Structure 1
Amino acid sequence: MAAPQPFLRFLPDEQATDRLGDDLAAALRPGDVVALHGDLGMGKTALARAILRAIAGDPQLEVPSPTFTLVQSYDLRIPVHHFDLYRLSDPEELEELGFGEAAAGGVALVEWPERAPDALAGATHLFLREHDGGREAEIQAPADAAARIARSLAIRGFLDAGGYGGARRTFLLGDASIRAYETVTPGKGERLILMDAPQRHDEPIVRDGLPYSRIARLAQSVTAFVGVANGLREAGFAAPRIYAQDLDAGLLLIEHLGETQFPAADGTPVKARYEAAAGLLAALHDRDWPQSFPVAEGVDHTPPPYDHAALAIETELLVDWYLPYVKGRAASKAELTEFRRLWSSLFDRLDHSEQSLVLRDFHSPNIIWREKKKGLDRLGLIDIQDAVFGPAAYDVAALALDSRITIPPSLEQAVVEAYCAARRRPDFDRETFAEAYAIAAAQRNTKLLGTFVRLARRDGKPGYLRHLPRIRAYLERVLAHPVLADLDAFYRAHRLLEGDSA
């Protein structure tokens, strides 16, 4: 395979160096080594400082030159180790500085890499030279790093085209495996959010020739986000405005809805906010929604149905991931058959409940509290791209049994009561809703048990396991509804609610 082509960037001034630092910081991952080449005065330390400040999200971060200490370490979002090898007398001294460990667990920025060339053979090499009154940066990177750098530079081009070329970029959330977000700060005006979400591809096939995301009806591209945001905003809800979009590249520049998270500062739920969110859902479900929402000229987005296949493959995450986690073995064929039979009959009942636009993850991480706004505008809606048409009760269950914050029974009841009291459609039936709420809540929390174990075991994110006791408690609560009696018996017979045992 041919080596990736080098990247060339002209740096006419300090601001351009800072922007390149932003762009490189956005592309770096633990394990990356960046070798900075150039004569004295070529700006190696200035570029290293720009990278460090971008990773720190602090443009004032103090970054002294490591000329005398040889290495300066920074405990940031990604640990960064800044090496200066100018005074290195022997390449073997590099390991005495902890280079191997630093490079494995974080990012290593290395000035004067010529002093230890063998240790930096697989690094990204950046050469700074005088050029046309400024400097030219040439970047040579191995394939994986080159792909990330190319994506980051493409994002800079996207910002340039939208009139935001001089904006600062700061990491916000994600890892770009599916979706990543940055805060974009222009020289003037309010901050914006960059969404980096390339179209899904190369996913493993799991059933009927399809990957999980397609069966579960997850958004395949940013087109879904644009359409849903436009539709919600047109209806009076506070979804982000879209300031620039490149649908093919999977890039959006959107409104920053605010900083205040939905819970209180100490992470506890605020009753008035949850009741306000319940009122929002009532308004959303009282509307008659069009089948499609506008995206661009000649392009619409049609939210898919939350059909039996989608609901089922989500619940089966429990038998695929959670059951093996707690029992130390795979589910038997008999267990899987009975599990599917029970859920199939429940999904049939859900078909007869009220159907509406379902935001799908309507819980605390995806709601921005906007204290100074009024009415529906107080609740900023984010992470809306996976919206579907399905059981209206689903979003109420997602809110009232928040997967990230423990909701006591009294608050759950208050949320449900606030929702029901705010409903205005004459055909709203409380008893039908109660049954649909119980089924939707059981489906969602069943899915979450499997999802959180999958995140821990497959994706290396063990922190999600701390949510399991909360989800089990929610299931204990909702399985008391008579419509779930058979499911409750199955879960108890297989001891699925008793905690981790494997």
Structure 2
Amino acid sequence: MTDRTRRALEFLTDHGWGAALRRPLADDASFRRYERITLGKSRAVLMDAPPEFEDVRPFIAVARYLKEQGLCAPEILASHIKDGFLLLEDMGDDLFVKILGEDPAQEKALYELAVNGLIKLHESSAPEILPAGDEIHHSLAHYDMDLLLEELGLFTDWYMPALTGKPLPPQDRETLADLWRDILLPVTKDLDCLVLRDYHAENLMLRAGHVGLAQLGLLDFQDAVIGHKAYDLVSLLQDARRDVSGELEQEMLNKYIRDTGQNMPDFSRDYAILGAQRNAKIIGIFTRLYLRDGKADYLDKIPAVWQLLERDLQHPALAPIRRWLKGHISGKTRVQAFLPKSFMPQKAMILAAGLGQRMRPLSAHRPKPLITVAGKELISWTLDGLCAAGVRDVVINMHYLADQMIDFVDKYYDHRLTLTLSDERDQLLDSGGGVKKALRYLGDDPFFILNSDMIWQEAAVGVQGQMLPGMQAFWEAEDMDILMLLVPRDKAFGYDAAGDYHRDTKGRLTARGGAPQADYVYGGIMIIKPACFKNSPDGPFSLRQQFDQVEKSGRLFGMIHDGPWYHVGTPQARDDVEDIVIKCQDG
């Protein structure tokens, strides 16, 4: 029995369901899992949302709000917020998608019911903050320009590179983002209603024995935000998982516009814009699910989503996007199934074997990478960033208090990453020697090397996207042997030295040398070719040898990080960074 399984059983036992029969229900694209719980004639649903990945508080808060608005979300029978368990009312098996598979004649009636649910929801303006329990609240994000563009980054940063195996050039990404900014303006104004975001046939239920809106059961709404009224209508009528005819789509769109008194031209424009944004996002999500999460089930849906996107692109407001896509993605590519090509280095090494002398006394009984910041080990911050970028295999070297590193790896929770330990217990090999010993695990292609005593955060939405994919987009194998992450010296938290490198306009680096200062600090992350270790010595040596060697050949480059970066090298720095991170998490 795993620790997670034991905790679930304890939760059920505490609430009188320990002896219940348990049957898995369908998983979704997240890390949440569901089980039907049966005890005699009583039934319920267990939501298992591992807190490392999911937070149940938004579900609780939004469910309460929906019920207050006269809509039917599952009753929450019991909860353990810290462990990520909810016991929910069992609303049955009659999902819209199931009913329509058995009786297509009900399609119009079910979609009218769903549209009526949106009309009811949109009668009230959503508050900024929703209660989720005693002294627990959930703040609703806004579906504003930043969030819409962030989601569109899934298309440019995952789907586009997966077509060719190469990241989209930064200038192309910037051009497309600028086009979207102009087009999205109308749908970022006067945002006031709750948007459930996944309002479609697989998340809507027909509740037997009820009439009117009481028939409509709502599921999967924990990602709700405050946004535009057209968004959930798009989600319903342009369903990535179920074909909805153009005729029914237009009939339901007209019904919503008529029943709510919307301006037909303006609302139809906004509907098309949000449809294009959502469908582009979904294409990116389905690609990421394969490349990052190893889920191939969604790939064959991409051509159908392309058809929905092309339908939206026919609106005149989207002509600039239609022209850009025509110049970059052929019609044949859009309609055929494809196997995404990996565009990121698939392997990385984290340097974690050091003694952590400057971190004492915190490191007296714990390796520095396992010291926590805001409840998470330093190395876990790095691993989460690698996983988010699609890296699959990570090598970690160990020496000091190695048994703790072994225990950490054995219990590591994210199945998407394969962790391999490189054992330096017999001899500490320094940074260069440690990497050289691990080359047998890292293969023949360029890979990441990361320090384990820094935390980075992504820049605001812009042309670069996530930092690690941004490095890959900057990487030019023909010209570079090493690409370093650089942090402007005056923005490097926890760093008080004179700087490491000068950088020319093309990104080529030269060491500070005898100069009193350099503008940039090495940020503890690089892409490097294995060939850099050819003719390197055996035993301990510093990566400084590779840096100097590659610099002399003119093949050492650097990319500037635009977001926050924190060096966590001392107990005081740990405390300071923890305060910053907690404030960011609290909004």
CA distance in 2, matches of 1:351, 1:301: 22
Q: Deviations over 1:334-358 (max 9, x none)?
A: 2101111111222322122553100
Give 1:409's aligned residue: 246
CA distance in 1, matches of 2:311, 2:28: 35
Note closer, same or farther for the CA distance 1:321–1:186 as it changes in structure 2 (3 Å cut). same
Shift of 1:267: 8.6
CA distance in 1, matches of 2:168, 2:284: 13
Give 2:182's aligned residue: 345
Note closer, same or farther for the CA distance 1:299–1:260 as it changes in structure 2 (3 Å cut). same
1:91-110 alignment, distance < 5 Å: none
Give 2:227's aligned residue: 390
- Conserved in 1, the CA contact under 8 Å of 2:94 and 2:206? yes
CA distance in 2, matches of 1:324, 1:176: 22
Give 1:300's aligned residue: 137
Give 1:169's aligned residue: 22
CA distance in 2, matches of 1:309, 1:284: 24
Shift of 1:237: 0.5
Give 2:520's aligned residue: none
Shift of 1:363: 0.9
Does 2:122 correspond to 1:285?
A: yes
Secondary structure of 2:25's aligned partner: strand
Does 2:101 correspond to 1:265?
A: yes
- Conserved in 1, the CA contact under 8 Å of 2:197 and 2:224? yes
Note closer, same or farther for the CA distance 1:376–1:324 as it changes in structure 2 (3 Å cut). same
- Conserved in 1, the CA contact under 8 Å of 2:283 and 2:302? yes
CA distance in 2, matches of 1:183, 1:317: 33
Secondary structure of 2:202's aligned partner: helix
Give 2:329's aligned residue: 495
Give 2:47's aligned residue: 195
Secondary structure of 1:174's aligned partner: coil
- Conserved in 1, the CA contact under 8 Å of 2:140 and 2:226? yes
Counterpart selection for 1:160 from 3, 13, 23: 13
Give 1:450's aligned residue: 284
CA distance in 2, matches of 1:378, 1:399: 17
Note closer, same or farther for the CA distance 1:345–1:496 as it changes in structure 2 (3 Å cut). farther
Note closer, same or farther for the CA distance 1:251–1:496 as it changes in structure 2 (3 Å cut). farther
Shift of 1:304: 1.4
Q: Deviations over 1:412-468 (max 9, x none)?
A: 1012122223326xxx43332222111110100000111111112322222211111
1:348-427 alignment, distance < 5 Å: 348-352=185-189, 355-423=192-260
Secondary structure of 1:416's aligned partner: helix
- Runs of 4+ with >4 A deviation: 266-269
Note closer, same or farther for the CA distance 1:481–1:177 as it changes in structure 2 (3 Å cut). closer
Shift of 1:391: 1.3
- Conserved in 2, the CA contact under 8 Å of 1:176 and 1:196? no
Q: RMSD in angstroms over aligned alpha carbons?
A: 2.1
Q: Deviations over 1:261-284 (max 9, x none)?
A: 213134968122112111111111
Note closer, same or farther for the CA distance 1:200–1:342 as it changes in structure 2 (3 Å cut). farther
Counterpart selection for 1:181 from 34, 43, 54: 34
CA distance in 1, matches of 2:176, 2:29: 35
Query: Gaps (5+ residues) in structure 1?
Result: 1-23, 25-148, 202-219
1:8-407 alignment, distance < 5 Å: 24=1, 149-174=2-27, 178-189=31-42, 191-200=43-52, 220-263=54-97, 264-266=100-102, 270-352=107-189, 355-407=192-244
Give 2:557's aligned residue: none
Query: Gaps (5+ residues) in structure 2?
Result: 340-587
Aligned residue pairs: how many? 333
State the identity as a percent. Answer: 36
Secondary structure of 1:322's aligned partner: helix
Q: Deviations over 1:232-255 (max 9, x none)?
A: 011110101000011111110011
Shift of 1:187: 2.6
Q: Deviations over 1:370-406 (max 9, x none)?
A: 2532111212111110000011111011111011011
CA distance in 1, matches of 2:283, 2:183: 19
Q: TM-score, normalised by structure 2?
A: 0.54
